[in-house]
């Protein structure tokens, strides 16, 4: 797991898993469709990524689909880092 993926995974675990929730979050775990992150609370993840990596993710690209796994989120961040 590279550094970017690890940072995102760690944030997801800290920000979204309730105390006592021992679900394992892997690179491919479904976050939105798996019920770990909902669209209501997804905004803090987007803001975290934008601040941490000094990028701007337009709302139309911050879709539940694009945020549905750590792997996908990492790909999204990389895309905007290259721009």
Partner 1 sequence: MAFNDSTRNVFGAELESIKSAGLFKQERYIHSPQFSEIEVEFPAGAKVRKCINICANNYLGLSSHPDVIAAAHAGLDSRGYGMSSVRFICGTQDIHRELETRLTEFLGTEDTLLFPSCMDANAGIFEACLIEQDVMIADRLVHASIVDGMRLCKAMQDTYKHSDMTHLEEKLQEHQDKRVRMIITDGVFSMDGDLAKLDQIVALAEKYNAMVFVDESHASGFIGKKGRGTHEHCGVLGKIDVITTTLGKALGGASGGCVSGRREIVEMCRQRARPYLFSNAVAPVIVAGAIKVMDLLSASTERRDKLEWNAKYWRGLLKDAGFDLKEGDSPIVPVMLYDAKLAQEFARDLFDEGVYAVGFFFPVVPKGQARIRTQLSAAHEKHHLDTAIAAFKKVGEKHKILGLGKKELIARAGA
Task: Give which of 58, 70, 64 is closest to 10, Cα–Cα.
Answer: 70
Asked if residues 8 and 67 have their Cβ atoms less than 8 Å apart, the reply is no
CB of 29 to partner 1, least distance (A): 13
User: How far apart, in whole angstroms, are the C-alpha atoms of residue 6 and residue 3?
Assistant: 5
User: H helices within the chain, ranges in order?
Assistant: 3-16, 42-53, 70-82
Minimum Å gap between C-beta 28 and partner 1 is 17
- Residue 41 makes contact with partner 1 by CB under 8 A: yes
Stretch that binds partner 1, among 1-9, 42-50, 63-71, 72-80 (CB under 8 A): 42-50
Is 64 one of the binding residues for partner 1 (CB under 8 A)? no
Residue of 38, 52, 61, 75 that binds partner 1 (CB under 8 A): 38
CB 74 within 8 A of CB 67: no
Binding site for partner 1 (CB under 8 A): 16, 18-19, 34-35, 38, 40-41, 43-44, 47
């Amino acid at each position: 797991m590279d550094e970017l993926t690890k940072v995102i995974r760690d944030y997801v675990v800290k920000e979204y898993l309730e105390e006592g929730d021992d679900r394992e979050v892997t690179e491919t775990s479904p976050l939105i469709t798996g019920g770990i992150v909902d669209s209501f609370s997804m905004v803090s993840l987007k803001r975290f990524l934008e601040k941490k990596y000094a990028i701007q993710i337009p709302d139309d690209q911050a879709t539940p689909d694009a945020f549905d796994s750590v792997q996908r989120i990492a790909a999204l961040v990389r895309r905007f880092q290259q721009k």
